[in-house]
Chains A and B, each alone.
Chain A
Amino acid sequence: MSLTQDDVKRIARLARIETSDAEALATQAQLNSIFGLIATMQAVDTRGIAPMAHAQEVYQRLREDAVTETDRHAAFQAVAPAVENGLYLVPKVIE
């Protein structure tokens, strides 16, 4: 599989990354070389092997349901660009 310029532009838009045409061309080449690596791996016969969600055969450790965090919003909001009445302010977004 190889990506077209349109694919690259679309992925960039989904990831909210602004790309010039020159950057998109360079990125297309880089991404396609990664797809080359994947193609090599996909040549391996994996019939009869269950797909894995993780590289290791270990499982998630669970936390007891207890409140352990305290209110630290003052410290967090000290580095926020805009805050009012305890709320983070962002440019207006309405779908």
Chain B
Amino acid sequence: MKWETVIGLEVHTQLATKSKIFSGSSTAFGAAPNTQASAVDIALPGVLPVLNKGAVECAIKFGLAIGATLNRVNVFDRKNYFYPDLPKGYQISQLAKPIVEGGALRIQVGDSEKVVHLTRAHLEEDAGKSLHEDFHGMTGIDLNRAGTPLLEIVSEPEMRSSAEAVAYARALHTLVTWIGICDGNMQEGSFRVDANVSVRPAGQKEFGTRREIKNLNSFRFLQQAIDYEVRWQIETLEDGGRIEQATVLFDPDRGETRMMRSKEEAHDYRYFPDPDLLPVRLDEPWIEAVRAALPELPEAMRARFISDYSATPEQASIATSSLAFAKYFESAALHAADVDSELVGKIVNRMFSPEEKELAAGFIARDVARARIKLTCNWLTGELLAWLNKAETAIENCPIPSRSLAQLAIRIEDGTLSGKLAKQVFEGLWEGAGEVDAIIEARGLKQMSDSGELEKIVDEVLAANPKSVEEFRAGKDKAFNALVGQVMKASRGKANPAQVNDLLKTKLQ
């Protein structure tokens, strides 16, 4: 039987506020246990929550960025359950009237695009941390995280493969960091994913019974957990078994999901509106001010990179994978596009009659700029990205300034550097050996443009390889390539391969 996978994601994003959602405690990560837990956070009797404006503003930003409905009046509820890292005995969350409803996110899976709709996003407080080891049979509780603001973002069950789920999670991660509402640090738990997974026979309308995989903190685990879960569900059904609704955990060491609790044990949370908090009202001037301060969003920028800079869809996706990367790309492209009039003048003087010069100048400047931008784009999404990945570093710490990458593209475009030589210059840039032209000069990497010098080398090679010349004349094409290789070697890689080809052909005729 053919099966279809159905996935919906719930993502908890920790909001990048200075203080907690209902108290003035710091949210900084890594402090000594319980040093950032105030009377409100540890739920001493008689305390009252006071809502953080910054947290509400983060939710507004998110709602605007995904084109959602912002509930002008939204309400906090109590979600009741007992656990030692939840000192009040309830979590303050939003159930019936969340701050954000609807909206959508465009994702890219391979060559195809897809729109994933969101159900809702609501504000809530995080719980503390339980440490189960090393306390002679007791559990240690750290409440520093208790009360940290979260935005829980819930998607519709519209994803049909682990690849789509990962693409959605990545797009969401890019967006929340892009608009600055979350630091996106997955190791520190700032972006945690729960995946609801079910399978159904292809063509069936009703959803199958779902199991929820909790707390996935990397994109790789998300993919592995879903792949395992889908295989397990299909095998269970094909063996005649049934899927019980359940919550499961993913064990990355064994690559398996295992049951945490079944539906029978599921909590009855007895939600009700929190009497300690009044309904929250969002007024229009506030919403409009937030809208005005939003940066250009990744989707719009991606479209612009394709149209303005002729980036391929894939390159544009890479270039907009983070705001820092996009800024770097745009800065490099603008530097590359800055074609000086002196250069244009030189080309125009060479090629056009006086009356055509003025007209031609505009075209040439645009052509040169386009070629340079294309090269910049290729080097950014190719070599630079590969080096960043190899060094396991982000674009923010890139040792090559965007201006230098543009300069490298300029020197390739004007024929100073071949691709091979450019790689050597790139290495120099990465090592911090200075500006592009200085590296070319210092390391003697200039492509040979003097045709007299090249002709001399070609003559020498021809004289030294009479056998290859004979073979070529006898019709062996391979011999020609051997001669090209010899010339390149003699020029120590600095000859222009196209020029070598032309010159050899002329000489051998």
Q: Which residues of A come within 8 Å of B, CB atoms?
A: 14, 16, 53-54, 56, 58-69, 71-73, 76-77, 82, 84-95
Question: Would you call B34 and A76 a contact (CB within 8 A)?
Answer: yes
| Cβ contacts B127-144/A at 8 Å (1 or 0 each) | 000111001011111110
| Cβ contacts B269-301/A at 8 Å (1 or 0 each) | 010010101111100000000000000000000
Cα of A64 to Cα of B38 in the assembled complex, Å: 17
Q: Find the B residue at minimum CB distance from A92.
A: B139
Query: B32 at interface (Cβ–Cβ under 8 A)?
Result: yes
Question: Would you call A92 and B97 a contact (CB within 8 A)?
Answer: no
Question: Would you call B75 and A53 a contact (CB within 8 A)?
Answer: yes
Q: Given A73-B34, A88-B143, are A14 and B273 also a contact pair (CB < 8 Å)?
A: no
Interface majority SS (helix, strand, loop, mixed), chain B = loop
Smallest CB–CB gap between B342 and chain A, Å?
A: 52
Interface pairs A-B: 7 shortest CB-CB = A65-B54, A68-B24, A87-B140, A86-B33, A62-B53, A69-B38, A59-B281
Selected contact of A65 from candidates B19, B83, B131, CB within 8 Å: B19
Known: A87-B33, A90-B138. 14 other contacts (CB 8 A): A60-B277, A60-B278, A62-B53, A62-B280, A64-B54, A65-B52, A68-B24, A76-B34, A76-B39, A86-B33, A86-B35, A87-B34, A88-B140, A91-B138
Q: Find the A residue at minimum CB distance from B272.
A: A53
Query: B320 at interface (Cβ–Cβ under 8 A)?
Result: no
Q: Given A54-B273, A89-B138, A92-B139, are A76 and B97 also a contact pair (CB < 8 Å)?
A: no
Smallest CB–CB gap between B41 and chain A, Å?
A: 8
Interface size of B in residues (CB-CB distance below 8 Å): 53
Selected contact of B142 from candidates A16, A61, A87, A92, CB within 8 Å: A87
Question: Would you mind naming 15 contact pairs between A and B with Cβ atoms under 8 Å apart?
Answer: A60-B278, A61-B50, A62-B51, A62-B56, A64-B54, A66-B19, A69-B23, A69-B38, A73-B34, A76-B34, A86-B34, A88-B84, A89-B139, A94-B132, A95-B260
CB-CB contacts below 8 Å: B10-60 with A: 17-19, 23-26, 32-39, 42, 44, 50-56
Question: Would you call B17 and A65 a contact (CB within 8 A)?
Answer: yes
On chain B, the residues within 8 Å of A73 by CB distance are: 33-35, 37
Q: Given A65-B19, A87-B34, are A59 and B280 also a contact pair (CB < 8 Å)?
A: yes
On chain A, the residues within 8 Å of B42 by CB distance are: 76
Query: B3 at interface (Cβ–Cβ under 8 A)?
Result: no
Cα of A16 to Cα of B89 in the assembled complex, Å: 11
Selected contact of B18 from candidates A53, A67, A84, CB within 8 Å: A67
Question: Would you call A65 and B55 a contact (CB within 8 A)?
Answer: yes
Cα of A76 to Cα of B50 in the assembled complex, Å: 21
Question: Would you call A90 and B139 a contact (CB within 8 A)?
Answer: yes
Question: Would you call B135 and A89 a contact (CB within 8 A)?
Answer: yes
Cα of A93 to Cα of B127 in the assembled complex, Å: 15
Smallest CB–CB gap between A14 and chain B, Å?
A: 6
Q: Find the A residue at minimum CB distance from B35.
A: A71
Smallest CB–CB gap between A21 and chain B, Å?
A: 22
Question: Would you call A93 and B130 a contact (CB within 8 A)?
Answer: yes
Query: B268 at interface (Cβ–Cβ under 8 A)?
Result: yes
Question: Would you call A53 and B34 a contact (CB within 8 A)?
Answer: no
Selected contact of B25 from candidates A53, A67, A89, CB within 8 Å: A67
Q: Find the A residue at minimum CB distance from B32.
A: A86
Cα of A84 to Cα of B17 in the assembled complex, Å: 29
Cα of A62 to Cα of B39 in the assembled complex, Å: 19
Q: Find the B residue at minimum CB distance from A10.
A: B268
Cα of A14 to Cα of B80 in the assembled complex, Å: 9
Smallest CB–CB gap between A78 and chain B, Å?
A: 12
On chain A, the residues within 8 Å of B34 by CB distance are: 73, 76-77, 86-88
Query: B207 at interface (Cβ–Cβ under 8 A)?
Result: no
Smallest CB–CB gap between A53 and chain B, Å?
A: 4
On chain B, the residues within 8 Å of A53 by CB distance are: 75, 97, 273, 279
Query: B261 at interface (Cβ–Cβ under 8 A)?
Result: yes
Cα of A76 to Cα of B33 in the assembled complex, Å: 13
Question: Would you call A65 and B18 a contact (CB within 8 A)?
Answer: yes
Query: B82 at interface (Cβ–Cβ under 8 A)?
Result: yes
Question: Would you call A63 and B52 a contact (CB within 8 A)?
Answer: yes
Selected contact of B24 from candidates A69, A82, A89, CB within 8 Å: A69
